[in-house]
Chains A and B, each alone.
Chain A
């Protein structure tokens, strides 16, 4: 991630905007990134200090310096550095300092101290050349790290990472984020809420008319103080927001030395989801196809709509929705086989007063009995073995609608 001192932004009338990289600047950035990447590959095996000195020799004009440093950071993040043996360095230092301490105690005049002689003496004792001791003495410091592997990305990838990282670096100074995300990619939306929960952030959801959700996100303490304590958490939520199908985000940021309040806006189209979600998604599309072929007359099936939310208890994001011939709806969430805890959370949700008819489908391997939820509640559990049976799903849906 970029640090905020490397971010290229402009603040005008209370709005903070990341400076776009286009035209001649983009050409410079691509060329510069290529040179830094090549330098990293050419310096495999070199000390970090030598690699960084080589970067310093690539000419950069003052106005491009910050961009160049940011690109260097992105390349460095893609490199692998390693330290030499820290134990050896500590042993060398201890031997040198002990001997030197004895020597200082016996001196007759200040001019008599000769570091070279101390080095020679210790080198003899350790059976190593004096020159190597000089190098080993601080061989465990950052400067002495070795570049084990250069960065394998392309210049375009570095630029893409830089732009992504720039948003995150701004969010490090955020106190609150309001995101609007499309509900089209259910997996991405679910992943967003899971990330929010994992990061212990709180949120308010509002369903908008255009099929999007408006999510206000901040830390628990956010309602008392405009604290940047949650900046890191908000920055780490950004990938989950950017993975939603269609999204925009407005962040309340405290910027500059005086932490002036400014607004930061960014938008995009994503579509990336996790492997875990992908495996569930396959099951969902298969189920939808099976259901379509078995639907009674007047029934329909489609992607789930909305987020079923009980403030203070939790939420779920349905995958599919069945509509019967009387326009009554049953939502369905496919939980798959990966989290028993997730099933229990849904049980709590239904018990706490979720009003919508909803069917939770999960693998029998999770060992949760469907009898956990009594028949008089609008939610029901449906464990399955192997493949989800569309026939059983339809039966359970009818049963739910008739409760």
Chain B
């Protein structure tokens, strides 16, 4: 091998890097040896694309001239960007991200509460890095929101991949689903990748969006970094370490709206109570008979497995669903909702449910707009726009608005039902915390008393935001 001559080339192939020009028997210099492996299928060395920064650094350190056919991103002039002045904590977040591991480029996760301006932090970083940038967001609503923000800020064409669109520009927005599918094609086109709501990324299904992308600069944004499967340890590898963190209680009042949370207990009617108890007895009887322990990590799996083995099990499963439905959509909750919609008829109210059936029932009964996964993008945008403008004053949704959607005017949330997830509950609260003049937000949680739902409610409130 003659150092200094271009004998070696690097290519981006389907989310990996191929290093050509070395034989299997040759040892690679420096840092490159740690990331590449010989691939007999294609007779070249191969590494995951996210090792790109280390590869280039390793080649430079070894004095190896590498013909870099992998990188296809551009240096941009974004100096004309129109950005509002950063708040102190936003400046700190940008500095922390930039300051982290200078030699290795900016990498890391910024944890800020919903409504505190994470997007502003990201746009400041995009402006500073000045490289082609890909933003990955969990939903099409968020993709549309990022698209508008980026266009407004940088006054350049913005690409969208997802929801039936496939245009790639130097600044492009996509969903996690699309990134998972298409990173193998466009993972070399961006120097900075921003993972919005990055707690989604560590799942097996989405991690490839980070592994198959060669961007040396990486930013993760989330309000809730913890995952129930403990997957947060993967941030370090996929994005970088957590570099900055602020909690809701640290910002509320000054940078977030003042807020109150109110738990309202509702009672089942006598008939519903009987039906609930009857269903619960069938369900719990089966659980006891089969000695299923829900305290164990595989307790739920056991229940699912055993309930599928016999007709009695099937009845127990149906009973489980029935008692849950009764508690989640008790008529008393809908009566209470009617009062809350009336009381807040001049506010902007978002009603959250655990399931679509209840959301549709509420939409039919009170004739308020509904957004579910079945709502097409155009109608979603129209509903959200009308909600922002005040043409609609309330809307109901199941889970699709849990995250990220920016409706600063929303000031009332009514949680009709939900899971025991702290993250979901904090995200729902976050929907109404974006600050505006004199805003006082309130989140109502309707809980059917003396049912299992009360315990679920206790579990999801285990967060400082609900203890303040």
Residues 421-465 of B, flagged 1 when their CB comes within 8 A of A and 0 if not, give 000000000000000000000000000000000000000000000
B309-334 with Cβ < 8 A to chain A: 309-314
A224 CB contacts on chain B under 8 angstroms: 16, 37, 47-48, 211
Q: A220-B46, A221-B211 are in contact. Are A200 and B184 (CB under 8 A)?
A: yes
The reply on B39 being an interface residue by CB < 8 A is: yes
Nearest-CB residue, chain A, relative to B390: A101
The reply on A137 being an interface residue by CB < 8 A is: yes
Nearest-CB residue, chain A, relative to B184: A200
Residues 351-390 of B, flagged 1 when their CB comes within 8 A of A and 0 if not, give 0000000001000111111000010100100100000000
Chain B interface residue count, Cβ-Cβ cutoff 8 angstroms: 54
The reply on A153 being an interface residue by CB < 8 A is: no
How many angstroms from the CA of A402 to the CA of B314 in the assembled complex?
76
Residues 138-178 of A, flagged 1 when their CB comes within 8 A of B and 0 if not, give 10111000000000000000000000000000000000000
The reply on A236 being an interface residue by CB < 8 A is: no
Nearest CB of chain A from residue B39's CB, rounded to whole Å: 6
Nearest-CB residue, chain A, relative to B314: A62
B42 CB contacts on chain A under 8 angstroms: 202, 311-312
Query: Which 5 A-B pairs give the minimum distances between C-beta atoms?
Result: A100-B367, A110-B342, A312-B43, A62-B314, A202-B41
Query: Which listed segment binds A: B117-125, B148-156, B157-165, B391-399?
Result: B391-399
B211 pairs with A100, CB closer than 8 A:
no
- Which of the residues B48, B184, B346, B369 comes within 8 Å of A97, measured between beta carbons? B369
Residues 298-311 of B, flagged 1 when their CB comes within 8 A of A and 0 if not, give 10010000011111
How many angstroms from the CA of A259 to the CA of B229 in the assembled complex?
13
Q: A97-B368, A100-B367 are in contact. Are A220 and B15 (CB under 8 A)?
A: yes
Spell out B's residues near A (CB within 8 Å): 13-16, 37, 39-44, 46-48, 180, 184, 204-205, 207-208, 211-212, 298, 301, 307-314, 338-339, 341-343, 345-346, 360, 364-369, 374, 376, 379, 382, 391-394
A386 CB contacts on chain B under 8 angstroms: none
A200-224 with Cβ < 8 A to chain B: 200, 202-204, 219-221, 223-224
Query: Which listed segment binds B: A225-233, A265-273, A387-395?
Result: A225-233
How many angstroms from the CA of A284 to the CA of B46 in the assembled complex?
39
Nearest CB of chain A from residue B383's CB, rounded to whole Å: 8
A62 pairs with B310, CB closer than 8 A:
yes
The reply on A113 being an interface residue by CB < 8 A is: yes
How many angstroms from the CA of A118 to the CA of B368 in the assembled complex?
11
Known: A65-B308, A115-B367. 17 other contacts (CB 8 A): A61-B311, A62-B310, A62-B311, A63-B310, A97-B367, A97-B392, A101-B368, A101-B392, A105-B345, A107-B342, A110-B343, A141-B360, A200-B184, A221-B212, A225-B211, A257-B301, A312-B43
How many angstroms from the CA of A90 to the CA of B39 in the assembled complex?
54
Which of the listed residues B307, B309, B342, B374 has the most CB atoms from chain A within 10 Å of its own CB?
B342
B392 CB contacts on chain A under 8 angstroms: 97-98, 101
B48 pairs with A227, CB closer than 8 A:
no
B40 pairs with A113, CB closer than 8 A:
no
Chain A contact-residue range equals 35 or more
The reply on A96 being an interface residue by CB < 8 A is: yes
Nearest-CB residue, chain B, relative to A114: B367
Q: Would you list 15 pairs from A and B whose C-beta atoms are within 8 A, ordered by A residue?
A: A62-B313, A65-B308, A66-B308, A98-B392, A104-B341, A104-B368, A104-B393, A110-B341, A113-B342, A113-B366, A221-B211, A225-B211, A227-B208, A228-B204, A229-B180
Nearest-CB residue, chain A, relative to B313: A62
The reply on A132 being an interface residue by CB < 8 A is: no
Nearest-CB residue, chain A, relative to B394: A104
Interface residues of B: mostly helix, strand, loop or mixed?
mixed
How many angstroms from the CA of A312 to the CA of B16 in the assembled complex?
15
A223 pairs with B345, CB closer than 8 A:
no
Spell out A's residues near B (CB within 8 Å): 61-63, 65-66, 86, 90, 93-94, 96-101, 104-105, 107, 109-111, 113, 115, 118-119, 134, 137-138, 140-142, 200, 202-204, 219-221, 223-225, 227-229, 257, 259, 311-312
B309 pairs with A107, CB closer than 8 A:
no
How many angstroms from the CA of A93 to the CA of B367 in the assembled complex?
9
B16 pairs with A220, CB closer than 8 A:
yes
B208 pairs with A221, CB closer than 8 A:
yes
Q: A62-B313, A63-B309, A107-B345 are in contact. Are A204 and B338 (CB under 8 A)?
A: no
A100 CB contacts on chain B under 8 angstroms: 366-368
B368 CB contacts on chain A under 8 angstroms: 97, 100-101, 104
Q: A62-B314, A65-B314, A202-B42 are in contact. Are A105 and B393 (CB under 8 A)?
A: yes
How many angstroms from the CA of A373 to the CA of B208 in the assembled complex?
41
- Which of the residues A101, A137, A223, A259 comes within 8 Å of B393, measured between beta carbons? A101
B393 pairs with A202, CB closer than 8 A:
no
Nearest CB of chain B from residue A210's CB, rounded to whole Å: 23
A98 CB contacts on chain B under 8 angstroms: 391-392
How many angstroms from the CA of A93 to the CA of B313 in the assembled complex?
41
- Which of the residues B205, B208, B366 comes within 8 Å of A115, measured between beta carbons? B366
Nearest-CB residue, chain B, relative to A311: B43
How many angstroms from the CA of A100 to the CA of B342 in the assembled complex?
12
How many angstroms from the CA of A119 to the CA of B13 in the assembled complex?
57
Nearest-CB residue, chain B, relative to A118: B367
A311 pairs with B338, CB closer than 8 A:
no
- Which of the residues B46, B211, B212, B301 comes within 8 Å of A223, measured between beta carbons? B46
A200 pairs with B345, CB closer than 8 A:
no
Nearest CB of chain A from residue B343's CB, rounded to whole Å: 8
How many angstroms from the CA of A137 to the CA of B314 in the assembled complex?
34
B391 pairs with A101, CB closer than 8 A:
yes
Nearest CB of chain B from residue A249's CB, rounded to whole Å: 18
A137 pairs with B48, CB closer than 8 A:
no
A223 CB contacts on chain B under 8 angstroms: 37, 39, 46
B367 CB contacts on chain A under 8 angstroms: 96-97, 99-100, 115, 118-119
Q: A65-B308, A90-B379, A98-B391 are in contact. Are A221 and B48 (CB under 8 A)?
A: yes
How many angstroms from the CA of A225 to the CA of B312 in the assembled complex?
42
How many angstroms from the CA of A134 to the CA of B364 in the assembled complex?
8
B393 pairs with A62, CB closer than 8 A:
no
Nearest CB of chain A from residue B251's CB, rounded to whole Å: 32
